[in-house]
Amino acid sequence: MILQEIAAKTRLRVEKCKIQKPLEEIKAEVLSKKNTRPFLFEQVLSSDDLSFICEVKKASPSKGIISRDFPYLQIAVDYEKAGAAAVSVLTEPEFFMGSDNYLREIAAAVDIPVLRKDFTIDEYQIYEAALLGAGAVLLICALLSLEQLQHFRKTADMLGLSCLVEAHDAVEVDKALAAGARVIGVNNRDLRDFSVDINNSIKLRHKVPDNIIFISESGIKTAEDIEHLRKNNVQAALIGETLMRSQDKVKELTRLYGAVKMPRVKFCGITRMEDADILNMVQPDYAGFIFAPSKRRITLSLAQSIKKRLALSIDTVGVFVNEVPKAIVDIAHALTLDVIQLHGDETEEDIKQIKQASGCDVWKAVRVKNSGDIEKWRNSSADMLLFDTFCDKLAGGTGRSFDWSVLRGLKRPFVLSGGLRSTNIVRAIRGVDPWGVDINSGAEVDGIKDSAKIKEIMTIIRRLK
C-alpha cells in the first residue's frame, strides 16, 4: 500500500535527521523561541464563511509532476493575494518532491499560517515544523495509533501549533475525536488506492461536533463543489491540484468562492501631482487629502492643484483630526470636497454641526480596540462609519490591521481601513463585506504612493466581480 511505503521512507528520513541534529538539540532550539502567533491556523478558519487552505505542491504519486517550473514562493504569495486563509506546503521529498526549504521560505514570505503537509510518524517532525515556521502539522489517522495521535497533539499544543487530524472513514473520525482533535479533515481521496469521492467528507460531517473545525480535503474542483460544502456546514476546503494548475490564482479562487460585491475604493494620503495621474489611470471612487499632523499632511493650495488634475469621476475626501469646525468647513468649501472624514475625538454634536455648515457627507473614523468601540458609534448620525486600527500615538496611518471579526453582524454600511494591502485586501472584503475600503500605507513605498502597488490592488479588487 502506497501510504505504508511513504511512511517507511519517512522513518528513514527522520532517522537521518536525528543523526544530524538529535531530538534534544532540536527541542532546546524550538523551546528557546517564543511562538508569537499560537494556534493562528485555528483562528483563521473560525470564520462565518468557508475558508480556503491552498496547497503548494510540485508533484504527487497519483498525478506525477504538477508544476515543472514550480515558483513556490510566488505561488504562495499569489494564494495569499487571492484570499487564502492558510497555505499548505508539501515537504515530503521522494513521492511529492517537497522540501523543508519550501516551507521555511514560504512561512517567512506570507502573513497567513502555513501547514506542514508531511507524513508525521515521529514527534521529531513536530519540532522540525515549529523550527521551519509552520503554524500547523498534519496527523494522519491511518498512520498513527490513538496513543500516538494524543501524544503528538499534546506536543504540538505545547508549541502553539495546530494539528490537522486527517481521517477517511467513520472509524478514523471517531479516532480523531478520541485523540482530542480541534481540527478534523476528511480526505476525499483514499490514500490506499487514490480514488476520489468528494461526497466522502459530506457523509461524515454529521459525526463531528460544530465546535470542531471541519475541513474537506482533495478532489474539489468546481464552484458547485464549494457550494455543496457550504450547505453542509464545512468550515474549510483544502485544495491543491485545481489551484496549482491555474495561472491566475485570484481569478480561480474567485471562481470557486463565488463573486462578491465590489466595495468602493479610497486611496488616502494623496500628496503629489503624480498621485493624481496614477489615480486617473485606475479610477478609484475616492482620493483622500490629509489636513492633520502627519507625514502625509497637505496644504490647501497643493490639494487644490491636485484636485484640478483629478478626474471628475473621483470624489475627494478631506481628513481632519480634532480641527476647529469652522476651519474644516472653510477648507471643504475652498476645495469643494465631497466628503469630510473626522478622525479624532469629535462628538455627535460636532458631526451634526459640520454636516449642516459644509453640506458635505461626514464620515466618522472609529479606532477599534474591541467590539465596544463599534457599539458606541453604531447609531451615529455620521453618513458613514470608518473603522481603523487603534493606536495611542497615531490617529491613523498605522499600517496595522485589527481583528475584523468584531465587525461581523454590523447592520449599517461601513468603510474598512487599517493595514489594507494587496496581500490581505481579498480576505478583508470576503470576511466582512465592507461598503468601502480605505488604503493608505499599503499602497506606498517609503511613504510615497506607488503606481505598481495601486494598480495591483485595484486589479485584485476588480477580479472579485
- Name the one residue in this structure whose C-alpha cell is 531530538: 23
C-alpha cell at 340: 469630510
216 CB-near residues (< 8 Å, 6+ apart): 185, 186, 188, 198, 201, 202, 229, 234, 236, 237, 238
pLDDT on residue 68:
85
* φ, ψ dihedrals at 103, nearest 5°: -65, -45
Letter for the amino acid at 417?
S
pLDDT on residue 394:
57
pLDDT digits over 359-408, tens only?
A: 999 999 999 988 888 999 999 999 999 999 977 555 555 668 888 988 98
Closest to 457 (Cα-Cα) out of 429, 421, 427, 430: 421
pLDDT on residue 392:
58
Letter for the amino acid at 429?
I
**How far, in Å, CA of 242 to CA of 234, rounded?**
19
Active site residues: 55, 57, 117, 166, 187, 217-218
Q: pTM value?
A: 0.90
- Name the one residue in this structure whose C-alpha cell is 468546481: 222
**How far, in Å, CA of 85 to CA of 40, rounded?**
10
Report the chain (465 residues): mean pLDDT per 10 consecutive residues. 89 96 96 94 91 94 86 95 96 96 98 97 98 98 97 98 97 98 93 80 96 95 93 95 87 86 96 97 98 95 98 98 97 98 95 97 94 91 93 61 87 95 94 95 95 97 87
CA triplet 51, 54, 60: central angle to 5 degrees?
A: 140
In 10 A of CB 398, how many CB atoms?
Answer: 19
pLDDT on residue 194:
72
In 10 A of CB 145, how many CB atoms?
Answer: 11
Give the DSSP H or E segment for 417: strand 414-417
pLDDT on residue 390:
72
In 10 A of CB 221, how many CB atoms?
Answer: 14
pLDDT on residue 399:
67
pLDDT on residue 70:
92
